[in-house]
Amino acid sequence: METKLNYKIIFIMSCSLLFFFHNKTTPINQIHGEDEYLLTAEKMPTPVGGFEAVMKKITYPDAAQRTKTEGKVYLLIYVNESGDVDDVKIVKGIGMGCDDEAERVIKRSKFIAATDKGVAVKAKFSMAITFKL
């Protein structure tokens, strides 16, 4: 039987956890205008092509392969009203190039902007990218 991950469930579960840790460990308003980004909206940002499309862009770093590094990189992503990524913060990483690769892929991804009351808005959300050999 083939196992298929439900990325939406993983995404939703990681959102709650990451916002808890983000608020405990990261100084508030670390980037200019951070308070302009909503934590919740009627419709949160989603990658064009879905989360599967983002995962397909990941290239496992050579250093991580050599050292057999596996794990999850937790990111906080800031998406503007146009669906462009304004900033990415590593909330918790695993090193060996995986953090940089996750950040690179997210920064180059296009998102469907968040909407609230039918209007496109800036939003921040979390995501975990799993690196597994």
Distance CA 104, CA 113 (A): 19
pLDDT for 5? 43
In CATH, which of 3.30.2420.10, 3.30.1330.10, 1.20.1280.50, 1.10.150.120 is domain 7-131? 3.30.2420.10
Strand partners of residue 111: 47
Q: Where are the domains of the chain?
A: 7-131
Instruction: Provide the whole-model pTM.
Output: 0.76
pLDDT at 100 over 50: yes
pLDDT at 3 over 50: no
Give the pLDDT band (50/70/90) at residue 32. Answer: low
